[in-house]
Amino acid sequence: MKKDIVIPVVKDVYIAIVKEDNKEKTAQDWIVYLINDGLEPIESIMIMSRGKHEDGRKTSTFRHAFKLVAAKSALKVELIMEDVFPFKNEFILTYFIGPTLYDRVFTAAPHSLSEDHFTALPIMKQEGILLS
């Protein structure tokens, strides 16, 4: 029975964290984005984010739902505070392409969220951190 279950591989869909000016242009905020670099839109998207510290502390769990992210586009998901950078931060992504369900956990290791880890992001014309 288990051999009959096909688990599709998530390709061309990413969670990225970027640093950008806030609305008032008085400071820079860290923002989580969902990037769809695929050729098809993704639908019925759910993202759950949470953080765990090695000393046992946990962050609140956030849940986000989006109907659609078009092909070759990015969507702003949430603000992430620098206070949680010492935590292991997880982003659990679930979505559909057609009738197929995709699921993946993206992780940011403790203290890995810094400008030292910036790289060019797909679709977006800026640099940020792609989570693995």
Q: Give the start-to-end residue ranges of the domains of the chain.
A: 2-130
The string of pLDDT tens digits covering residues 65-123 is 999 999 999 999 999 999 999 999 999 999 999 999 999 999 999 999 999 999 999 99
Q: What's the confidence (pLDDT) of residue 1?
A: 62
Q: What is the CATH number of domain 2-130?
A: 2.60.40
Instruction: Please check the confidence at residue 2 and state whether its pLDDT lies above 70.
Output: no
60 close to 83: Cβ distance less than 8 angstroms: no
Tokens of 95: 């979505």
So what's the pLDDT on residue 7?
A: 78
pLDDT digits (tens, 9 = 90+) for 16-69: 999 998 877 788 999 999 999 999 999 999 999 999 999 999 999 999 999 999
Q: Which pTM value belongs to this model? A: 0.93
Q: What 3 state SS string does the chain have?
A: CHHHCCCCCCCCEEEEEEEEECCCCCCEEEEEEEEECCCCCEEEEEEEEEEECCCCCECCCEEEEEEEECCCEEEEEEEECHHHCCCEEEEEEEEEECCEEEEEEEEECCCCCCHHHCEECCCCCCEEEECC
Q: In angstroms, rounded to a whole number, what is the distance separating the alpha carbons of residues 110 and 59?
A: 13
